[in-house]
Amino acid sequence: MTFNKKEIIVVLLCLLIGQTALTQSIVISDFEMNKQEQEVFIDSLISSIQDHPVYLESLAIVGSSKASLDIAQSANKPQIQFQGNSRNSLKQKFNNPLSALTESSKDQHRADGSLIMQQSLFDPIIKEEISKQEYILQADYYNNQQKVSELTLDMAIACQDTAAYKIISDLIDISIDSHSQIVGRIKMRVESGRAAQAEMMRAEARLAEAQAKKMTIDLKLQSARAKFSQLIVDTKPCLKFLKVDSEQLINDSSKVRDAIEENYSIMKANELIKASERELEKAKAGFKPKINLELRGDRYDLTGDQNYDLYAGVNFNVDIYTGGKKKALVRLAEEQLNSSTLKKEILLKELKIKSEANLAELENSSERLAIFNNAFEAYEQSKNKLSLQFESSNVSLLELLQAERDYIESAELLIINKKEINSSQLRQLFLLGKIIKYFEQENTVNQF
């Protein structure tokens, strides 16, 4: 049996396009990390956070707050100091000449010393300052956790971005090959006189369009990889999606609003409000007296006789008039407290808006992804059928090019929606203050 040239071309094209269609077939779960890949990424994420300047800066702020608390607490402990003085006489005069003989040498060069111990017995300012610094320290700890949460979210989303754009880029590469093959067949038809030159121009335009899309996606991929490499060092960019356990998510809007209170920014704001309340009480305490116990020992003329005095006393201090300073301090503290309260309300409103918008993105996400997947499969089947029928009078190669474009656009939409859904899942974990615990648990589970 012999075949003519046309029949051979038809068979080869059918096989080639059929093979291309087979390699393009998408199973969305194939683009998600397996257990081992996810473990490697989470390990890299955690180690990168611990070395990141943002995290280290927040740790330094916590250390600074600890030092401030130690300073405040030290005021409640005994304060011991030594005072010494030395003096040389410039001129002496004695009415009694005999005194000049006995006293002159002593007073010409003299050094005295005092040892003083003071202990606060009653000072409400110290008490309120300690309490305020404790709240500030806790606020800075929550600030540290918030910074870790932000870094974790940025790193996880950077992983999603690099994976999505890499997958789309690879799919477009396959699509460009298909376009090139179809353009080649159209060129053969044009050269043989079986097709008009206009078809060739349209086919080349479609190919150029696919190549332009490839350049656009590659630019996004390069940008995503650059961000990834800045966030996660010594780690290759993700090629697959980071999988999020849907059981850890909340689908009820009322529960989401309640869970917002666990956001580290809100908890930080709560502590700063408490610190402002203590600052107000501290300002009011300025009107109250201070009582100190003082023990003092004075030694006169350290080089002479061992003459000394020991004193014990209680000091009572109260400000009578300060020019309105203390009232101004109270007003200042009241305004600072009001500002802290309003900042929390603003933050709470912003988080509610973000969480509700994010929840709307997550609602019916599985159904939405299924719809895009169904659309992709429909375009895939249409393309495959056209590939088998392209030699019939009802199908042209330009129709094949259109089917190829529809196919790759549906694949791109499917991948982009998968990325957005995964990113929304990560954002909910972040907004509800659960993202750190989630990755720590995932890391622990993967180790067993």
Domain 15-75+130-287+324-446 CATH superfamily? Outer membrane efflux proteins (OEP) (1.20.1600.10)
- How many beta carbons lie within 10 A of that of residue 297, not counting itself? 15
Mean pLDDT of the 317-336 span: 93
Residue 190, helix vs strand vs coil: helix
Which of the pair, 25 or 75, is modelled with greater confidence? 75
What is the DSSP secondary-structure string of 365-425? HHHHHHHHHHHHHHHHHHHHHHHHHTTSTT--HHHHHHHHHHHHHHHHHHHHHHHHHHHHH
Dist. CA 387–CA 397, nearest whole Å? 9
Distances 330 to 68, 215, 326, 333, 338 between C-alpha atoms, Å:
22, 63, 6, 5, 12
272 has pLDDT over 90: yes
CA angle 35, 361, 175 (to 5 degrees): 65
Dist. CA 397–CA 392, nearest whole Å? 10
Mean pLDDT of the 318-326 span: 90
The encoded tokens of residue 45 equal 């994420």
Amino acid (1-letter code) at residue 76: N
The encoded tokens of residue 297 equal 């020992």
pLDDT at residue number 141: 97
Mean pLDDT of the 59-83 span: 94
- On whether the pTM is more than 0.85, the answer is no
86 has pLDDT over 90: no
375 has pLDDT over 70: yes
Residue 91, helix vs strand vs coil: coil
Query: 131-184 pLDDT, tens per residue?
Result: 999 999 999 999 999 999 999 999 999 999 999 999 999 999 988 888 888 788
Mean pLDDT of the 344-348 span: 96
Q: Are 418 and 33 in contact (CB under 8 A)?
A: no
Average per-residue pLDDT for the chain: 85
390 has pLDDT over 90: no
The percentage of the chain sitting over the pLDDT mark of 90, rounded to a whole number, equals: 53
Task: List strands edge to edge, sheet with 307-317.
Answer: 79-88, 109-122, 290-300, 307-317
Dist. CA 293–CA 313, nearest whole Å? 6
What are the residues whose beta carbons fall under 8 Å from the beta carbon of 65, sequence distance 6 or more?
133, 136, 137, 140
404-423 burial, b for 16+ CB within 10 Å, e for fewer?
bbbbbebbbbbbebbbbbbb
Dist. CA 315–CA 117, nearest whole Å? 12
